Amino acid sequence: MTIASPAAVAAKPTRSWSETIAFAVMVGFFLIAPLFIYPLFLMKALCFALFACAFNLLIGYVGLLSFGHALYFGWASYVCAYTAKAWGLTPELAILLGAATAAVLGLVAGSIAIRRQGIYFAMITLALAQMMFFFAVQAPFTGGEDGIQAVPRGYLFGVIDLVNPMNMYFTVLAIFLGCFLLIYRIIHSPFGEVLKAIRENETRAISLGYKTDRYKLVAFVLSATFAGVAGATKAIVFQLASLTDVDWPMSGEVVLMTLVGGLGTVFGPVIGAFIVISMQNYLAQIGQWVLVVQGTVFVICVMLFRRGIIGEIAHALRIKL
């Protein structure tokens, strides 16, 4: 699946001022946001923003459409919830263990899936994700459709009490910003340049001597790991892990978040995640109309801004975002 984006091709690999300003605005917003937005909602949105960024690393910069990212997100949240609850691990260890699980799953699924391209790649990732979904339904430790409930938030590093919403919020924010910067670094590293070369023209990258399969696999594992961090963090925030997170609609949701925000943009997935999560959350009050409104918004997005919200803004202003 090759997604051509002329703006990205023309861009220089150096950091641009527009991205620095956008990053400053984003950090500023997140620092004051809990004063006027409900923190739990913000934490959820941050987890999904990270999930979408991880997904975007794969689709936006390598051009691989994975339709099974719920696998890494969901299983990391199960492992994190289980180890925090049953083994009494501190949250940071539980999250790391969740992310490690996602990395291993990503390595297995990735090494099978990257042998194929386009729709076949998407179908293989979906099939593997569904296999693990059924495993989650059956396995005794996941609690089946009840999920793992009452996960303790615990003490970060054994000292910071995460039951306090503000402590929890800034922990999530730190995790998000750390991963966000890491993803940014990856995209703009020589390694990231090779990924973009593969996205634009894989045959040519091969002819230049790059072992593209290896690059793709590493990108896949990285993406899965970040998705795992997001899922594991969500398990700590909500104190639960459930089938919703491993089921295929979750894989679809992350595609939508990335598309709405802007494929292959650094900030797009963050905006996209906030929009989708806000709709789910604030439209909950209007009951049965949620799905209709959600559908309409997506149709409008697809019809009017093909590049996604951030993509359109960047295009109109001729800047990188």
Partner 1 sequence: MKHLFTLALAMVAAVACGTAQAQISDGVVKIGVMNDMSGTYADLSGQGSVVAAQMAVEDFGAAAKGLKVEIVGADHQNKPDIGSNVVRQWIDRDQVDMIVDVPTSSVALAVNQIVKEKNKVFLVSGAAASDLTGKACSPNTIHWTYDTWALANGTGNAIVKTGGKTWFFLTADYAFGHALERDTAAVVEKNGGKVLGKVRHPFPATDFSSFLLQAQASKAQIIGLANAGADTTNAIKQAAEFGIVRGGQSLAALLIFLTDIKALGLPTAQGLVFTEAWYWDQNDANRAFAKKFAERNRGVYPSMIHAGVYSAVTHYLKAVSELKTDSDGKAVVEKMKSMPTDDSLFGKGTIRVDGRKIHPMYLFEVKKPAESKGPWDLYKLRATIPAEEAFRPIKEGGCPLVKS
Q: Which is nearer to partner 1, 255 or 321 (CB)?
A: 255
Six token digits for residue 236: 């700590």
Nearest in space to 268 (alpha carbons), one of 307, 229, 317, 221? 307
Give the x/- contact pattern for partner 1 in 94-133, rule: CB under 8 A.
----------------------------------------
The span of 123-131, 147-155, 185-193, 305-313 binding partner 1 (CB under 8 A) equals 147-155
The span of 33-41, 66-74, 200-208, 259-267 binding partner 1 (CB under 8 A) equals 33-41
Nearest in space to 251 (alpha carbons), one of 119, 122, 68, 120? 68
Q: Which is nearer to partner 1, 13 or 295 (CB)?
A: 295
Q: How far is the CB of 33 from partner 1 (least distance, A)?
A: 13
- Contact status, residue 76 vs residue 228, Cβ threshold 8 Å: yes
Query: Is 29 a binder of partner 1 (CB under 8 A)?
Result: no
Which residues, in sequence order, are CB contacts of 98 under 8 Å at separation 6+?
75, 76, 77, 78, 79, 80, 83, 228, 229, 231, 232, 235
Between residue 40 and residue 69, which ones bind partner 1 under the rule CB under 8 A?
Answer: 40-41, 44
The span of 105-113, 208-216, 243-251, 265-273 binding partner 1 (CB under 8 A) equals 243-251
Query: Is 32 a binder of partner 1 (CB under 8 A)?
Result: no
Measure the CA–CA gap between 60 and 83, rounded to whole angstroms. Answer: 33
Measure the CA–CA gap between 30 and 107, rounded to whole angstroms. Answer: 33
Measure the CA–CA gap between 222 and 225, rounded to whole angstroms. Answer: 5
Residue 108: its H or E element: helix 91-113
3-state class of 147 per DSSP? coil
Q: Which is nearer to partner 1, 73 or 220 (CB)?
A: 73
3-state class of 40 per DSSP? helix
Q: How far is the CB of 93 from partner 1 (least distance, A)?
A: 22
Query: Is 234 a binder of partner 1 (CB under 8 A)?
Result: yes
Q: How far is the CB of 208 from partner 1 (least distance, A)?
A: 45
Among positions 150, 303, 304, 316, the unique one binding partner 1 when judged by CB under 8 A = 150
The residues that touch partner 1, with contacts defined as CB under 8 A, are 36, 38, 40-41, 44, 134, 137-138, 140, 143-147, 149-150, 234, 238-240, 242-245, 280-291
